[in-house]
Amino acid sequence: MQNLSAKACFDTWKIATGMVSLTDFAKIYGLMECRRDLSDNDCYSCLQMGISDIPLCCNQRIGGRVYSECCYLRFESEPFFPATAPLPSWSGDQSDHSDATGNKSTMRMLQIICILMAITLVLTSTIRTFLLRRKKASNKDGGRVGGDNDATESLIFDLETLQAATDNFVDINKLGEGGFGTVYKGKLLNGQEIAVKRLLRRYRQGMDELRNEVALVAKLQHKNLVRLLGCCLQGQEELLVYEYMPNKSLDTFLFDPIRCLLLDWKSRYKIIEGIARGLLYLHEDSRLKIIHRDLKTSNILLDGDMNPKIADFGLARLFGGDQTHASTSRIAGTFGYMAPEYAVYGKFSTQSDVFSFGVLVLEIVTGRKNAGFHESDGAIDLLTYAWQHWTEGIAHKLIDRNLNEQCIRQEVLRCVLMGLLCVQGDAAERPTMSTVVLMLNSFSSTLPIPSPPAFFIEGSQMESDVLRNNSVVNGMESSDHFNSKFKPYSLNEASITELDPR
């Protein structure tokens, strides 16, 4: 059936038939058909969804049929089609070569009957699909987004197809590596370029991350979120298939001494604004409230026009109803981008993503990484460095030297202030993403004065303990005992009153 679906989508009439011998005495006959007005991709996708429904409708049966609004497939153990492929029933423009009035009337009657049958089958299929989804939704887990098998099964890719597209995952097609796997460039038979994320087998949470990401991203539609095309769960392989982003990730430009010259201020401002709009969609505008939990430069992909798209939803969490925050003893993310309340106490909310966004903004403006930051004037991380320059009235010295005089200084300084507002230690004082988008689009409003950012003291006992007990870097899971062992302290050695619940 997989072979026939590929043949049908490229056929002029959008139809394909075939036969395969199982034994000397047993054969299987198959037929695939799409509406002629469908594109090759839409036809292939429809047939793939039909194939994924076969185990649900026709398991252990000798033959079966799957109908949808746009395509139809059937398989039997006996021939059911003529030696030559029949004319498509959905062509809509079949010519009547008979000159007899009676024949024309008969043809019209047959067409009417076929249309009525098709409508009946579509309604039946729609009702059946709705009932199945409703049943699965009632059993859905309310924590992680994973477990939505219906969404996952409708996006299944064949392993052989992805192996052929990537030349069997050859190193020359490697685009990059992350905490959970390697990404390869591929090209499908229809010429479409794709990016295939191959999860590493040594991580036990790999299957959960994959199912979580497929079920989640399949529901999201926004120009600043990377588009998921499908997945593959075959044999030992766990693969995610995305739209191909020719300019890779933001960090490959921002922190490269040569490629960073291609990022003028206009491009950087567009990237900041795009990330903000993508986060606003996740937090407020989509029908689901999503907390990303791993926002960083390597998870911001750039298309051919340098438009940003948020990627990697393997650690994302879904909030339901009026939920505003949650807690976990299994902290995951990337050190340096995590909000203090999440890194220390495991508490996360939309404001945790706002903190990560603030770090991103400061990195984009300065061209420097927050992780591993070193300066000779006493600053131990980028947030401290930016705060010192702001309070001393020399924030203009933060601007990346590669921007020279091409940037609008007031616009850049406004972004610095906005970044400092986002990384404030108290989550309640940070702006929401809707306020951030307003800051980026309205220059008439006056921004509030930020309080000091959260400090992580590099080289201190706290950080060494964090890194030893919290194997969080780049997606690793943390110790369950992390929450109870560490207390935050400020750079100026002043004490902090801790408020514990009764």
CB of 248 closer than 8 Å to CB of 302: yes
How would DSSP label each residue in 302-344? Answer: E-TT--EEE---TT-EEE-TT--EEE-SS--S-TTTS-HHHHH
For residue 458, give Cα distances in angstroms to 74, 475, 482.
64, 20, 18
Q: Which two tokens stand for residue 58?
A: 């026709």
Q: Which two tokens stand for residue 256?
A: 């490269």
Alpha carbons 492 and 280: distance in angstroms, whole number: 35
Backbone angles phi, psi at 72, to 5 degrees: -150, 140
Q: Which two tokens stand for residue 313?
A: 């939803």
Alpha carbons 214 and 238: distance in angstroms, whole number: 11
**Quick one: how far is CA 387 from the chain centroid?**
33
Q: Which two tokens stand for residue 314?
A: 């393997």
Q: Could you give the residue numbers annotated as active site?
A: 294
For residue 9, give Cα distances in angstroms to 38, 64, 396, 498.
9, 21, 57, 64
Pairing of strands 64-67, 71-76: antiparallel
Alpha carbons 331 and 347: distance in angstroms, whole number: 9
Pairing of strands 27-34, 15-21: antiparallel
